[in-house]
Amino acid sequence: MRSHLNILTATMILTMVMLINFANTTFAQTDLKQFKKVVEEDSTLIYGLAGYDKAVRNDILTVAQHPEVVQQIKDMQQASQNSFRALIEGLDREKQFGIYELSRYPDLIQELTINGKTKKSDVENIIIAYPQDIHEAALKYGRSQHKILTAIGRLNQKNKDDFETLIGKYDSSFQEAIKRLIDTPEVLATMADNLEFTRLAGSVYNQYPADMSAKLEEMHNQIKVQKAKELEDYQQKMEEDEEAYQEMLAAAEQFASEEMNNKSITDPVTQQVEVVNVNHYSYWYGYPYWYSYPYWRPYPWYYHTGFYYGSGGRIIYIGMPSYWYVGWHHRYYPNRYPHLSYHYYRHAHRHPRSYYNFNRTVNVNINNNIYLDRSNLARIDNNRSKIIPKQWPAERPATRPDVRPGERPVQRPETRPATRPSTRPTQPTQRPGTRPETRPETQRPSTRPATPPAQPSTRPATRPASPPVNYNNYRSNESFRQNWSRPSTPATRPAARPAGGFKRR
């Protein structure tokens, strides 16, 4: 009797195992079909995933196998962000910006608050160990906003404890991967905002790890080759167009002055690099809420313009202009640099499937900008490639910026008070090296010497006499620049910068 029961029990267990395996296989096949369908309908995310280096892809795919964790982290992030905003909602924009800057340095907040309200001399001693770019905010708000910083310190600890509790039940490889992604918030935020894609990618990778890894590596290499070709074409066409070239230099100078608080952009970027990191905004609190699209890290000016001045005044191209930079240009000066605008338009026409996502940038900021003089671009096109449809100048875009750009107002609403000194330093401050010893494969020097901008500079008469500061190293800049570069939520209008612009380090 007992033997019959044992046989029956074994049979039932075997049957259950077979049913579970069948169900898992069925679900896996269903996910594979669904994943293929999603990719066919919109390949942006899969190419974004493939654009990362292998180590980052592996972290993404490891974490994607547990989409429930991504969802829980997203929920935790939303709650933390709400708590953070509640703490600063009573402050004016300048103070809010300062607190956001301090949130990039949780260890500094802890040091400023752990022993109660500190003396000014104590703050000065504490900040010595931190990058120069955060000294001003720490000195200004380390004492005056001590109560808020103390609350943020407690919130930091709560986030840390809750996060460790959440991931503690998973294996060490998962824990290490998710911790690395927390430190790349642009990646984790994109995964959370596209949770179904994340789930499908993790499911398919779990069933076919070797095949998926091989396919992604193949796509990765394809993207690198195509990006190099696209950048080469961008540079060639730019240097063939003298007017666009001169406007490129003039626009970059104006951008660096207004948006980056920079001194002369013609100072060459040296070959030496001090490898340091510029802390990103906290994943838990996000970047300043008034930014119009995801902006997690304060990059140097050349990340946005796509070029810098090398030794001997040569122009070194490092990538395509950023979404932020093109948005600045066409929001505030839609008709000041028409040949440069046309160059962007023509490039997007020549590369409709840009792996830089530059066609999206052009579509938002040029095709859908009601303040752009289309007839002027059509006249330029008539002497160039003749690619603009005849009806295009008369068509009215469907979207518009928040405010009419025209001439920039002398006084912007809710501007951050200027912190620049009133006198120009007698000797220019030495800029830190920001370029690695070896350049990325996409770097190409200009074949012509740089000439001064054709248009008069609009830079202020005074320059900041700030001490040398450290930027995020160039290699790290390019890693993020060339991968998941598009906004996680497509913009519907030219990107609006925060009121008063950014003060850049």
Angle formed at CA 288 by CA 287 and CA 291, multiple of 5 degrees: 100
Higher-confidence position of 191 and 410: 191
Any idea what DSSP says for residue 394? Answer: G
Which residues, at least 6 apart from 363, have a Cβ–Cβ distance to it below 8 Å?
A: 348
Residue 27 predicted with pLDDT over 70: no
- Joined tokens for residue 238: 């730019």
Nearest by Cα to 296 from 417, 414, 183: 183
User: What's the rounded Cα separation, in Å, for the pair 185 and 341?
Assistant: 32
**307-309 vs 314-317, strand pairing mode:** antiparallel
What was the pLDDT predicted at 28?
Answer: 56
- pLDDT confidence of 492, banded at 50, 70, 90? very low
More confident residue, 265 or 228: 228
Averaged confidence pLDDT in the chain: 77
The answer to whether the CB of 220 falls within 8 A of the CB of 50 is: yes
pLDDT tens, 355-385? Answer: 888 888 898 899 999 999 999 999 999 988 8
Instruction: Confirm whether pTM is higher than 0.75.
Output: no
Q: Using 50, 70 and 90 to split pLDDT, how confident is the model at 277?
A: low
pLDDT tens column, 311-356: 888 899 989 999 889 999 998 999 999 999 999 999 999 999 888 8
Over range 119-141, report the average pLDDT.
92
Sort 61 into a burial class: Cβ within 10 Å, 0-12 / 13-18 / 19+.
buried
The single residue listed with the structure tokens 């300048």 is 94
Reported as a pLDDT band with limits 50, 70 and 90, residue 108 is: very high
233-246 residue pLDDT tens: 999 999 999 999 99
